[in-house]
Amino acid sequence: MRRIALILVLILSFSAVPAYPYWIWTPKSGKWVNPKTQPKPTPKEQFEFAKSFYDDKKYEDAKREFLKTLKAYPKSFEASESQYYLGLVEEEEGNLYEAFKAYQRVIDKYPFSERIKEINEREYKIGEKFMSGEKRKAMGVALPVENPAIEIFTKVIENSTYGPQAAAAQYKLGLVLKSILRYYEAEEAFNKVISNYPDSEWAEASKFQIAACRAAVSRGPDYDQGAAKEAKEKFEEFAREHPEASLSREAEKNVQELIEKDAESAYNIGRFYEKQKAYEAARIYYEDIISKTPYSPWSAKALERIRLLEKKK
C-alpha cells in the first residue's frame, strides 16, 4: 500500500508541472517560463537576434523580437536601435503612418540617438508621399482627419528647426494646407519660410504662394475686394522682384485675372444701383471700369450700360 501511495504522489507531483516540454523552471524568478517568450540574457544578444529576422525579411518575427528588446531593456542603446528598426519594418510593409510614428518615438524617447538626422530625412520623405496622395495600407489605425503630411512636416520642423529639411518641410506644409483650402494657415506657413529661412531656395516661391492664398480667398463665394487688392499687389511685387523667375509669368497672369475679377465686381455693383434706379451711382462704377480696364470685356459691357442710361434721361 505504501508503494502504491508513493507512486500516486509522484504522479500527482509531475502532473502539476506544465506538460509542454519547452517550459523550464527558473530558481531566480521561482516560476515556470517558456524560453521562447523570454529575452536573451543581454540587450546586445536580444537585438542581434531580432535583427537576424529583419535581415531575413521575416518582419513579423522581427517586430516581435524588437518589441521584446524594448520591454526587457528599455534604457539600453539597443532599445533605441530596436525602436528605429520597428520604423523600418513598418516602412518595408508599406505602413507609412505607423512607420512615421515609430520613427518619432525614437526622437521623443531617445533624443540622443545617432539616428536623429536619418530619421528626420525618412519622416520628410514619408510626408512627401502623403503629400503626393500615396495611401498607407489599412491596419486599423486611425489616421488624422486630414492629410497626415500636415502632422509629419510639422514634426520634421519641430525635430530640427534649422535642420536640412526644415525650410522645405515648412514650405510643403504650406502647400498641403493650401491644397485643402486652409488658406490663412497656409499663408502663415509660407510667412514662416520667409522669416525663418530667408536665404533658402523656398523663400522666393513662398512670396508667390502668399499672393496665391490671398487670391484664393478673394475668389470665395463672397468676393473679397480687399483680399483681391492685396493679392494683386503681392503678385505685382513678386514679378518686379523676380522678373526672371518661372513663377513671374504665372504671377502676371494672376494679376490680369484679378483685374478682370475686380472689373466684373464693379460691373455687378453698377447693375445693382441701376436696378435701384440710382443711375448716377451706377454710372460712376461703369465709368471706373472703362477708365481702369479699357481693354476688358467688362469695359465694353459698361459702355453699353452707359448708353442705355443716357436714353433714360
pLDDT, tens digit (0-9, with 9 covering 90-100), for 194-213: 999 999 999 988 988 888 88
Confidence of residue 20 (pLDDT cuts 50, 70, 90): very low
pLDDT over 90, % of the chain? 45
Classify burial at 191, counting beta carbons within 10 Å of its beta carbon; exposed 0-12, middle 13-18, buried 19 or more: middle
**Does pLDDT of 172 surpass 60?**
yes
Whether residue 197 contacts residue 164, with contact meaning beta carbons closer than 8 Å, is answered with no
Sequence ranges of the domains in the chain: 39-93, 117-136+145-197
Torsion-angle region of 224 (φ positive above 0: left; ψ -120 to 50: alpha; else: beta): beta
N-term to C-term CA, the chain: 135
Contact 107, 116 (CB under 8 A): yes
Does the predicted TM-score (pTM) go above 0.85?
Answer: no
Question: Which fold is adopted by the domain 117-136+145-197?
Answer: 1.25.40
pLDDT in tens, 258-310: 667 777 777 887 787 778 777 777 777 777 777 777 777 877 887 788 787 77
Q: Are 178 and 213 in contact (CB under 8 A)?
A: yes
**What per-residue confidence (pLDDT) applies to 120?**
96
Task: Return the percent helix, strand and coil in the chain, to nearest 5.
Answer: 70, 0, 25
Which grid coordinates are listed for 250? 504665372
**Can you say whether residue 142 is alpha, beta or left, with left for phi > 0 and alpha for psi between -120 and 50 degrees?**
beta
> What's the pLDDT tens digit per position in 213-259?
888 887 665 556 666 666 666 666 766 766 666 666 665 666 566 66
Chain CA centroid to CA 249, Å: 29
Region of residue 157 (left: phi > 0; alpha: psi -120 to 50; beta: else): alpha
At residue 12, the pLDDT reads: 47
Dig out the grid coordinates for 72 from the structure.
Answer: 526587457
